[in-house]
Structure 1
Amino acid sequence: MWEFLQHLNYWDWLALGTALLILEVFGAGGYLLWTGIAGIIVGLVTFVIPELPWTLQLPLFGVLAILTAVYWWRRQRGKAESGDQPNLNQRGHELIGRTFVVQQAIVEGRGKIKVGDSVWIAVGPDAAVGTPVRVTAQNGTVLSVEIVP
């Protein structure tokens, strides 16, 4: 083992990085992607500096794996927070503020409104069929509405 470690070269690192990238294809969820990229970078550094001892190659690999993973994690987190669709996968939230027409009269605070090709339960002030209403809130499958003046 010591013999192998003392003679690590760029082919070993490129092979490790490639193997990790291939394993990532089978569904590791991004975990092996960044370690594979770190292995390839260490392989390139070892190609440029062939006399780099293994005692520096291994820590370099570890540091690069952590840095690339943290970089990607921060980048993805930033995209999730500043996305152009903050209500994605929150059915009903995208309806808040939009105006629709009463499908079934709202009587005693409960009725139905037509939203696209579906009908949602609506709660709010009494309104006749055809009255325009604006969605103010959502609670599960029930939309709170107000009459549009």
Structure 2
Amino acid sequence: MNEMFVTLGTWNWLIFGIILMALELIAPGVFLFWLGLAALLTGLISFAYTPSWQVQILMFAAFAVVAVPVWRRLARNNATDGADSPFLNKRADALVGRVFTLEKPIVDGTGTVRIDDTVWRVAGPDAPAGSRVKIVQADGARLTVAAA
């Protein structure tokens, strides 16, 4: 085992880094990428400066430990990127406050309204077809309306 560490060289780190990054492609989880990057950095530094195997392992460990907070910070920044489109998976919620024309009259509290290429069921006070209604609430695929 000691012989393996003594022969630890630059190419071994570069190959190890590439293998880790390839494993990331096979089993995505974003964590192996950062360990692969740490191995590549250790290999690149070993090109310029030939440290002992103990220093190489310490460099790899240090880069791997530093990579975790960097990864968390990047993941946190990417998680907030969806803030610019808050209704991405809530199409009905995006309709609240808008005014549309009834396609079919609201009779006994139920009618329909056409929004773009979709017909939505609406609930609200009775109103004739062609009336303008304002959407006041979205509950799944059913919209609650009031006279506009």
What interval of TM-score do these two structures reach, taking the shorter chain for normalisation?
Answer: 0.7 to 0.9
Pairwise mapping of residues 1-149 of structure 1 onto structure 2 (< 5 A)?
1-51=1-51, 53-83=52-82, 84-148=84-148
In structure 2, distance between residues paired with 1:136 and 1:60: 60
Query: How much has 1:132 moved relative to structure 2?
Result: 2.4
Q: In structure 1, what residue type is equivalent to 2:75?
A: Q
CA–CA distance in 2 between the matches of 1:132 and 1:74? 48
SS in 1 for 2:119: strand
User: Which is worse superposed, 113-122 or 94-103?
Assistant: 94-103
Code of the residue aligned with 2:37 in structure 1: it is: I
SS in structure 2 opposite 1:24?
Answer: helix
Identity level (%) = 35
Structure 2 distance, partners of 1:134, 1:75, is 41
Cα 1:23/1:82, change in 2 over 3 Å: closer
Aligned mates of 1:62, 1:126 — CA distance in 2: 70
Whole-angstrom distance in 1 between the partners of 2:122 and 2:105? 10
1:42-79 Cα shifts (integer Å, max 9, x gaps):
1112222212x333332432332343343233223223
Unaligned runs of 5+ in 2: none
Give the Cα–Cα distance (whole angstroms) in 2 for the partners of residues 61 and 98 of structure 1. Answer: 57
Q: What's the CA shift for 1:139?
A: 1.3
The offset of 1:82, in angstroms, is 4.0
Give 1:147 shift: 2.5
Deviation at 1:117, TM superposition (A): 1.0
Corresponding pairs, count:
147
Tell me the CA shift for residue 12 of structure 1: 0.9
Q: Relative to 1, partners in 2 of residues 1:65 and 1:92: Cα closer, same or farther, differing over 3 Å?
A: farther
TM-score by structure 1 length? 0.82
SS in 2 for 1:67: helix
How far apart are the structure 1 equivalents of 2:128 and 2:97?
20
